[in-house]
Amino acid sequence: MPKECRRKSSKDFGLSGTGINEGSRLERRTAGKASHTCDDHVEKAAQIAASSATGAPTVMDAPRVPQVTITPESGGSSREMQQEDWDDAVDGALRRKLSNSSVSSTGSSAVESEDDLLSDNESKSKGIITLEHLDTVESKAWWKLKTIVHWPFSVTQKRKLNWVQLAGHKGNFKAADEGNILKKFSENEMLCFEKLRDDALLPFVPGYHGTLEKDGECFLHMTDLLVNFDLPNVMDCKMGVRTYLEEELVRARERPKPREDLYTKMMEVDSEGPTPQEHSQRGVTKPRYMQWRETISSTNTLGFRIEGIKKCDGTCRTDFKKTRSKEDVIQVFKDFVGGNGNITKCYLSRLTEIQQALKTSQFFRQHEVIGSSLLFIHDHTSKAQVWIIDFGKTTALPEGQTLSHDICWQEGNREDGYLWGLENLIHTLESVSNEVTAEETFRSVATETDCCQTIEADGQ
């Protein structure tokens, strides 16, 4: 969800000394003035965890939003990983000493407006991509290889991983050691993963192994959810009735910044989408674009929308922008499960488990969950799983405030409609299950009838 251009990397992460809950604008202005490594991020997260544990006020008291920074396309030269870098690896959370790191502080220019930064033309990465695998030939976890690992890995040691990215931006992911991937660092997402370590949602989110730094860039190191599947079918469903932060709305109101890339994307779907004013300025603001996307898809009407599907035959579709009606959504799901009742039932039971966990999750109660997806994965063995992914825009509420997640959003209440969307998603799969069961029954009756007719014919 959030973009490369917007992520704080170790090149431009400008945490001030007073803690990470300071106003986002302040952080944006200071971004790039200090150089920080992944260790800094990890320490911050540890401080938060510690203060939460002691009941002391956490640094998450104030509403927090994803920070806005520019991450240059290149920069930060690689360095050879030293033995000592691995010596303090703890439980996979690699707390490496990077005192000699090549992290640069040049990642950000003076930033006056978030919208300036949002006006990127970065292409979306949707579909099958090849990730460079950073594993060694021995395919062992990195922290077990500390005596033999050197960085950067030589070309001969690199393997390619065919992977699918159904949403998000190009270049956000890299392959990691066997079974894991790297996702570009975002402060929000890191904090969420840290807090999820002790939460009821833990069994439903990708395993998180801490932050990692490569070539001066910081990544979140997490489990590749596709790894245990054979030719997986994958679907990304974006949850909630709202896909942008309230802060984005406020900012667009205070400082409207029409974006040509969003105008172009709108025109590609519907040339009558833009208003006369938007046509004349050839620009659309971010919240306006996001609201339009919500209206033309099922986000507003069902509280979730289909973002993309990759099937085991290698085909990949991300053209669901106008998939809106319940019937159309059911049809897409039915096609995705290939009319398989067992897979549908597996998905349903996993969704029900997720629903239960959400209802008891402290994390969920205390966060506005925006732009997060449910990732559906199944293969020909009928293994089917659903995972909660993407916490880049999931934001902690002020201390003491909670959300119900199933009431209407009105500006200021920060409700996201996640539970309402999940309820509708479950109903959708129930409809799929009913249709599939009816068709299976019909097929078996038809087959029996055929058999009887054959026997009768044979008997004649």
Ligand X SMILES: Nc1ncnc2c1ncn2[C@@H]1O[C@H](COP(=O)(O)OP(=O)(O)O)[C@@H](O)[C@H]1O
Ligand Y SMILES: O=P(O)(O)O[C@H]1[C@H](O)[C@@H](OP(=O)(O)O)[C@H](OP(=O)(O)O)[C@@H](OP(=O)(O)O)[C@H]1O
Q: Do residues 180 and 222 lie in contact, with contact meaning Cβ atoms separated by under 8 Å?
A: yes
Q: Do residues 6 and 69 lie in contact, with contact meaning Cβ atoms separated by under 8 Å?
A: yes
Q: Per CB under 6 A, does 118 bind ligand Y?
A: yes
**Shortest gap between Cβ of 287 and ligand X (angstroms)?**
18
Token pair of 417, please? Answer: 């409609």
When CB distances are held under 5 to 8 angstroms depending on the partner's kind, the choice from ligand X, ligand Y, none that residue 210 binds is none
CA 243 to CA 46: how far, in whole Å? 29
**Shortest gap between Cβ of 314 and ligand Y (angstroms)?**
22
- Give the count of beta carbons closer than 10 Å to the beta carbon of residue 247: 17
Interface residues for ligand Y in 181-240 (CB under 6 A)?
none
Applying CB under 6 A, the site for ligand X has a residue count of: 23
**Shortest gap between Cβ of 77 and ligand Y (angstroms)?**
28
Q: Per CB under 6 A, does 273 bind ligand X?
A: no
**Shortest gap between Cβ of 2 and ligand Y (angstroms)?**
4
Write the interaction track for ligand X spanning residues 115-144; mark x where CB under 6 A is met and - where it is not: ------------------------------
Kindly indicate which of the ranges 1-9, 249-257, 357-365, 405-413 contains the residues binding ligand Y, using the contact rule CB under 6 A.
1-9
Q: Per CB under 6 A, does 169 bind ligand X?
A: yes
Spell out the residues 6+ positions from residue 451 whose beta carbon is closer than 8 angstroms to its own: none
Q: Per CB under 6 A, does 170 bind ligand Y?
A: no
**Shortest gap between Cβ of 179 and ligand Y (angstroms)?**
24
Tell me the one-letter amino acid at 19. Answer: G
Write the interaction track for ligand X spanning residues 48-87; mark x where CB under 6 A is met and - where it is not: ----------------------------------------
When CB distances are held under 5 to 8 angstroms depending on the partner's kind, the choice from ligand Y, ligand X, none that residue 286 binds is ligand Y
Spell out the residues 6+ positions from residue 5 whose beta carbon is closer than 8 angstroms to its own: 70, 71, 117, 118, 120, 122
CA 191 to CA 186: how far, in whole Å? 9
**Eight-state DSSP code of residue 151:** S
Q: Do residues 299 and 240 lie in contact, with contact meaning Cβ atoms separated by under 8 Å?
A: yes
Write the interaction track for ligand Y spanning residues 279-298; mark x where CB under 6 A is met and - where it is not: -------x------x-----
* 261 to 304, 435, 451: CA distances (angstroms): 24, 41, 60
Q: Per CB under 6 A, does 373 bind ligand X?
A: yes
